């Protein structure tokens, strides 16, 4: 599930743009947003977010133990970051990780979302927001 390249699918087949040739050259939502537009960027974020959240939700729904649930989330993140269909060149994993965190730890998700939004509003730099959110994660 993690290796489904939503950014490439939406960019190439929906808009005729291979996002791997523009901007940061990765298939993530931020690059799709910059190179193709707002709607494709949002759709990519939702697809990447859902594959992370769905993998954890499905494992939990099927009655898996904590270790398997964690591994399901990790597999989605690894698959997104190094997709087998694209010679292991994918996105940064931020959207997919966000989906995993929401399903596994909704309280931590809320804290991280607020931190991300505040940093993004002040500095208008999504990568910085993601890095600071990752640093806050252990105490969230």
SS (H, E, C) 62-95: CCCCHHHHHHHHHHHHHHHHCCHHHCCCCCCCHH
Rounded distance between C-alpha atoms, residue 39 and residue 21, angstroms: 19
pLDDT digits (tens, 9 = 90+) for 51-95: 999 999 999 999 999 999 999 999 999 999 999 999 999 999 999
How confident is residue 45, by pLDDT bands cut at 50, 70 and 90?
very high
Segment 120-136 shows an average pLDDT of 91
pTM recorded for the entire structure: 0.89
What mean pLDDT comes out for the span 89-105?
94
Contact (CB, 8 A) for 13 and 4? no
pLDDT digits (tens, 9 = 90+) for 19-31: 999 999 999 999 9
């Amino acid at each position: 599930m993690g290796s489904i390249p939503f950014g490439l699918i939406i960019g190439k087949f929906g808009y005729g743009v291979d996002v791997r040739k523009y901007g940061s050259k990765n298939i993530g939502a931020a690059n799709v947003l910059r190179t193709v537009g707002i709607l494709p960027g949002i759709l990519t974020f939702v697809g990447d977010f859902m594959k992370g959240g769905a993998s954890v939700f499905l494992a939990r729904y099927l009655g898996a133990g904590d270790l398997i649930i964690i591994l399901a989330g990790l597999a989605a993140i690894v698959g997104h970051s190094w997709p087998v269909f694209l010679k292991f060149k994918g996105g940064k994993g931020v959207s997919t990780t966000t989906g995993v965190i929401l399903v596994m730890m909704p309280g931590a998700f809320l804290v991280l979302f607020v931190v991300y939004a505040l940093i993004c509003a002040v500095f208008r730099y999504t990568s910085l927001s993601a890095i600071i959110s990752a640093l806050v994660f252990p105490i969230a």
